[in-house]
């Protein structure tokens, strides 16, 4: 069932009312759908809070500002959805209602599509979720991904249509894989890792230098970068291991041999304690 034209609160209430009448058994999941027509290309803010389940984000094929399909277990979670037209903020996701249950509990499913031609400021707060974030074709102006105990993959297969002001990844006990990061067009990136694992693949089209601020505690970070990109690394360590992949120490930092001549550069700064940092330099 798809509801358009109603206010977010009215649409959510009507969908839940009709959805409750269609539930035939205690183990059934419910599905709600929301969308909004694309009327302009003004920037939008998207705030997703997703406690548990599967999340898929990608660009919309139709002329819609957003298209949402959310499947959830009403015994354990409740959907959230609001659209504030004045600051243009979309908030959606699920919140936990109960921790009770058993082996028959089913996970939810959130599918979100966003307009290609609209600059989007994205904030994603994930709990125990499995996320597939295909940002190819979107105009992502800023991205903040915070993952507690999630398994998240994000990628850009083509260059971002707009430069990004900031890209933040925060992995508590999560596993995050990010690929095509050169295509993100973010000159500044910040990565925080608690006990989780993060892989950063800087493949794609390099158009400018990148500064990476890395804060690693007990987890692991792997950085892959093309060999023709110059690399500088100044990371403070405390009882941590670090694979520098052939970088040479100059002063207080480590440099690739092509640092002075490379057309584009990756400057890694930060701190690690007890964790493991690895650098791989592959094909150009």
**CATH for 100:** 2.160.20
Residuewise pLDDT in 10s, the chain (284 residues): 454 544 554 455 444 433 433 333 335 899 999 999 999 999 999 999 998 899 999 999 889 999 999 999 998 888 999 999 999 999 999 887 766 554 445 678 999 999 999 999 999 999 989 999 999 999 999 999 999 989 999 999 999 999 999 999 999 899 999 999 999 999 999 999 999 999 999 999 999 999 999 998 888 999 999 999 999 999 887 545 666 677 888 998 999 999 999 999 999 998 888 788 889 988 65
Number of structural domains in the chain: 1
Written as six digits, the tokens of 127 are: 């709990």
The reported pLDDT for the residue numbered 214 is: 93
- The Cβ-side half-sphere exposure at 135, using a 13 Å CA radius, reads 31
pLDDT score recorded for residue 22: 37
97 forms bridges with which residues in the sheet? none
Domain that holds residue 10: 2-282
CA distances from 283 to 146, 229, 246 (A): 30, 10, 15
> Residue 16 belongs to what H/E stretch?
helix 8-22
Reading the block at residue 9, the tokens are 């609160």
Separation CA 194–CA 168 (nearest Å) = 14
Neighbouring-strand partners of residue 278: 222, 243
């Amino acid at each position: 069932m798809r509801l358009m034209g109603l206010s977010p609160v009215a649409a959510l209430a009507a969908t839940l009312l009709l959805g409750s009448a269609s539930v035939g058994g205690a183990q059934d999941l419910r599905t709600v759908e929301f969308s909004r027509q694309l009327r302009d290309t003004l920037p939008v803010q998207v705030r997703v809070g997703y406690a548990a389940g599967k999340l898929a984000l990608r660009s919309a094929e139709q002329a819609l500002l957003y298209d949402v399909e959310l499947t959830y277990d009403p015994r354990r979670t409740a959907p959230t959805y609001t659209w504030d037209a004045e600051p243009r903020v979309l908030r959606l996701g699920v919140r936990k209602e109960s921790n009770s249950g058993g082996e028959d509990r089913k996970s939810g499913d959130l599918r979100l599509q966003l307009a290609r031609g609209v600059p989007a400021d994205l904030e994603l707060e994930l709990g125990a979720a499995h996320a597939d974030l295909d940002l190819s074709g979107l105009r992502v102006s800023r991205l903040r991904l915070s993952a507690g105990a999630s398994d998240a993959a994000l990628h850009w297969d083509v260059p971002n249509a707009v430069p990004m002001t900031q890209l933040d990844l925060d992995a508590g006990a999560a596993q995050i894989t990010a690929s095509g990061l050169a295509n993100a067009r973010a000159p500044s990136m910040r990565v925080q890792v608690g006990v989780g694992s993060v892989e950063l693949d800087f493949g794609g089209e390099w158009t400018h230098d990148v500064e990476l601020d890395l804060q690693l505690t007990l987890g692991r970070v792997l950085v892959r970068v093309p060999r023709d990109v110059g690399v500088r690394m100044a990371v403070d360590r405390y009882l941590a291991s670090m694979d520098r992949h052939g970088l040479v120490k100059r002063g207080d930092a480590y440099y690739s041999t092509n640092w002075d001549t490379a057309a584009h550069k990756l400057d890694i700064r930060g701190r690690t304690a007890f964790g493991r940092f690895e650098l791989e330099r592959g094909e150009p």
